[in-house]
Structure formats: C-alpha cells, structure tokens
C-alpha cells in the first residue's frame, strides 16, 4: 500500500492551496478569550464556540475553552495562539460535518488538554498541522476509525511537539509525513491500527513513548519508520504486544526507498507479532554498513526477536 499521502479530509478542509494567510497583527496585551458553550462554567464568556473564540483572537492571545462539549472543525489561521481546555472539554466530531477536529495553518500554535472524539470517516483527523512549531500536548484522542484516518497528523512541516497525548482506537495514531525537526515524546498509544508512524521524515526524535496492542490488519506496528527517512532518533520507547512488529524500519511502498542513517537505542520490545506469525520485536529491512548489515544503528535494545539477527541486545 502506498503510504505517502495527504489525507482527503485535509485536502477538503483546505479548499485552496494550504489555506488563507495567517493573521499578522499582534495583541499588545496577550489577552485571554473565554469560550463557554452554555455560559454556566465561566463568567462573561466572549464566545460560545471554539471557532468563534479563535476568530476573535490576535497573535499572542490565549483561547480558554471552559468545560463542555463542542463541535470540531476548528480552523486556526492566527499565529502564536494558545488553545487550552479548562476542565473536561470534549470536541465531538459527530457535531460537525467537518472531518478535522483542529486544523492548524499558522505557526506557533498550541492545542492542549482536549478530548477529541472521532468518526468512522475516510481520512478524518483529530488534530492536523501543516504549519511549523505546532504544539499538541496533553490531549486524549480516540475513535478516528475510517480508512486513512489519524488521531494526529503532521504534514510537510517542521518543529512540531507532540507530547503526553493518550491515543486509542484509531486507524493511525500519530502520523507524520514529510516532517523534520519534530519531537514525538511521552505519548501513550494503544489499540490503534498503527502506533507511531513516520513516512519520508528526517531528524525527528521519538522518545519515551508507550505503543502497545496496535492491531491493524497487515500493519499493526508499534513504531513504523518508512521511506526516505534519515537522521531520526528512536529512543527509550516501549513497544509491546503489537500485531506485527514492535519497531519496524521498512518500505512505504513497493520498490521505494528504505530508511537509513537512523538511530534506534535503548528501547524495550516484547511479545510482538500477535496477529502476524512473521512479526518480531525489531525489524529493519534496509541493507548497509551499520548494525547487523542494515543502514541504521541499533544499540542496547531490550528485545527477544529480530530481523535480521543482531538488532536486539540479548
């Protein structure tokens, strides 16, 4: 299956090439825009929907979303904006015709503390960014179950921070395509089709994540790095009980390039290959002059099964 793509939900949401230009005027005070769906949780709210709150904001402002249930389909074209949940805030994709919970099109935007409930729709996305320096932190994202749907998507950009999110029951958990200089750290991803998945992406850190029981048919990897991906550092992760491989470096598409020059260190992988008898804890399809005749460096990984032999520390 060819895996280098922009999800259809992202294309439909943009409408024009990569959306409108971000707002450039700055808020002198760094204001807080308060959003409350029913006016019961925060006094004197400025807006009732997240989108209306975003539309009121200038660069440097915070959009504080008070406890409640809100529609997805939020488009952010304002740079240096913080969107933060106060209390239990649910963004429910069943309340909108949009296929993207938050679409980030401006630099230095933060989305923190939301629960995002997905739909069974082709190419749907919980949070998607095409802008540099996006921070996606402390979110719970679930139930994006359509073909090619993802909880988090980072596309053709750089310097993203994807940290401390809990992600389950999605087709793809965290999917990055054409991404560089980004951090994917301390996330818990479980019971998805694929765990953490980077395609044609370079110089990223994948560190201290837990990726377990991801069971996609024909996929089901805990961490998958594919295609023309170089200089990535996969370290200190736990990848256990996945359908195919714990950590896999391989093809995005038949006949395509293989990852090279990456470091895979200090990870723990156990009991993988739950659905695929050929699945192993550690798998590298490349060939070269590095560890065990691959094109990548594997060091101090605590695992029991590997292809080729020599990737695990026994």
The per-residue pLDDT for range 213-262, each reduced to its tens digit, is 999 877 899 999 999 999 999 999 999 999 999 999 999 999 999 999 99
Q: At 256, is the secondary structure helix, strand, or coil?
A: coil
Closest CA to 227 of 145, 146, 285: 285
Whole-number pLDDT of residue 307: 99
Answer whether the bond into residue 13 is a cis peptide, omega within 30°. Answer: no
Residue 201 lies in a domain: yes
Backbone angles phi, psi at 154, to 5 degrees: -120, 115
Domain that holds residue 136: 71-81+88-307
Instruction: Tell me if 139 sits within 8 A of 164, measured CB to CB.
Output: no
Tokens for 186, please give them.
Answer: 């301390």
Q: What is the CATH number of the domain that holds 152?
A: 2.160.20.10
| 3-class secondary structure, 52 | helix
Per-residue pLDDT tens digits for 204-217: 999 999 999 999 87
For the chain, what percent of residues have pLDDT higher than 90? Answer: 89
Element (DSSP H or E) covering residue 309: none
Mark out the alpha helices in the chain (DSSP H runs): 8-14, 50-56
- Whole-angstrom distance, CA of residue 130 vs CA of residue 4: 15
Radius of gyration of the chain (CA): 20
Q: For residue 116, which of 169, 37, 38 has the smallest C-alpha distance?
A: 169
d(CA 20, CA 47): 22
For residue 18, being part of any structural domain is answered with: no
Residues 13-39 have a mean pLDDT of 66
The verdict on residue 231 lying in a domain is yes
Total structural domains in the chain? 1
Among left, alpha and beta (phi > 0; psi -120 to 50; other), residue 87 is left
The answer to whether position 206 is within a domain reads yes
The strand pair at 110-112 and 82-92 is best described as parallel
User: Does any domain span residue 33?
Assistant: no
Mean pLDDT across the stretch 188-206?
98
Evaluate whether residue 208 is within a structural domain.
yes
Cβ–Cβ under 8 Å, residues 249 and 274: no
Region 100-108: mean pLDDT is 99
Listing DSSP states for 81-98 in one string gives -EEEEEEEEEEEGGG-S-
Q: How many residues does this entry show for the chain?
A: 314
d(CA 100, CA 128): 7
Strands 297-299 and 263-265: parallel
Find residue 71's DSSP bridge partners: 92
Residues 42-48: what's their mean pLDDT?
Answer: 96
Task: Tell me the C-alpha distance between 170 and 149, whole Å.
Answer: 7
What pLDDT is recorded for position 217?
74
Q: How confident is the model at residue 83 (pLDDT cuts 50, 70, 90)?
A: very high
Residue 300 lies in a domain: yes
Residue 45 lies in a domain: no
User: Given 3-state DSSP classes, what are the helix, strand and coil percentages for the chain, each rounded to the nearest 5?
Assistant: 5, 40, 55
Q: Is the pLDDT of residue 10 over 90?
A: no
Q: Is the pLDDT of residue 159 over 60?
A: yes
Average pLDDT of the segment spanning 163-172: 98
């Amino acid at each position: 299956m060819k895996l280098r793509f922009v999800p259809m939900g992202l294309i439909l949401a943009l409408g024009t090439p990569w959306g409108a230009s971000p707002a450039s005027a700055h808020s002198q005070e760094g204001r807080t825009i308060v959003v409350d769906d029913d006016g019961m949780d925060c006094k004197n709210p400025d807006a009732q929907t997240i989108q209306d709150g975003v539309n009121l904001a200038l660069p440097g402002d915070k959009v504080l979303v008070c406890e409640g249930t809100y529609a997805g389909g939020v488009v952010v074209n304002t740079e240096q904006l913080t969107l933060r949940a106060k209390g239990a805030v649910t963004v429910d994709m069943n309340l909108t015709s949009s296929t993207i919970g938050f679409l980030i099109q401006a630099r230095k935007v933060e989305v923190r503390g939301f629960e995002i409930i997905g739909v069974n729709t082709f190419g749907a996305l919980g949070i998607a960014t095409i802008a540099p320096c996006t921070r996606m932190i402390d979110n719970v994202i679930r139930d994006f179950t359509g073909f090619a749907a993802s909880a988090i998507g980072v596309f053709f950009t750089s310097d993203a921070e994807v940290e401390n999110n809990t992600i389950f029951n999605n087709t793809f958990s965290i999917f990055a395509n054409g991404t560089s200089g980004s951090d994917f750290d301390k996330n818990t991803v479980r019971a998805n089709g694929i765990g953490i998945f980077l395609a044609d992406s370079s110089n990223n850190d994948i560190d201290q994540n837990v990726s377990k029981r991801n069971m996609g048919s024909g996929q089901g990897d805990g961490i998958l790095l594919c295609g023309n991906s170089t200089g990535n550092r996969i370290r200190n992760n736990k990848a256990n009980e996945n359908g195919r491989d714990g950590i896999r470096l391989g093809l995005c598409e038949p006949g395509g390039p293989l990852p090279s020059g990456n470091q895979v260190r200090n990870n723990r992988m156990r009991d993988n290959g739950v659905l695929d008898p050929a699945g192993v804890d550690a798998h590298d399809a490349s060939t070269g002059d590095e560890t065990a005749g691959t094109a990548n460096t594997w060091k101090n990984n605590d695992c029991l099964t590997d292809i080729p032999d020599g990737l695990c520390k026994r």
